[in-house]
């Protein structure tokens, strides 16, 4: 069974999706810079989120 992803087009959209609790996987669909990457990692990995490169 293939996993379904919700797609975020910016940082705030990704955070909204993660914060909602309804989305299990979020695909980051923009050219993410290192500052945004580390901000997402800092904000969400402490809550149990995992970051994977695909």
In tens, the pLDDT along 1-54 reads 456 789 999 999 999 998 998 888 899 999 999 999 899 889 888 888 888 877
| Range of the structural domain that residue 27 is part of | 6-47
Domain count, the chain: 1
Taken in order 11, 19, 54, 46, the sign of the CA dihedral is positive
In a domain, 1, yes or no: no
Radius of gyration, alpha carbons of the chain: 11
CA angle 2, 9, 34 (to 5 degrees): 100
In tens, the pLDDT along 32-45 reads 999 998 998 898 88
In a domain, 53, yes or no: no
């Amino acid at each position: 069974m293939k996993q379904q992803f919700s797609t975020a087009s910016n940082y705030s959209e990704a955070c909204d999706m993660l914060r909602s609790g309804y989305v299990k996987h979020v695909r980051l669909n923009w050219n993410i810079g290192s500052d945004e990457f580390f901000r997402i990692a800092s904000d969400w990995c402490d809550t149990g989120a995992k970051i994977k490169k695909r």
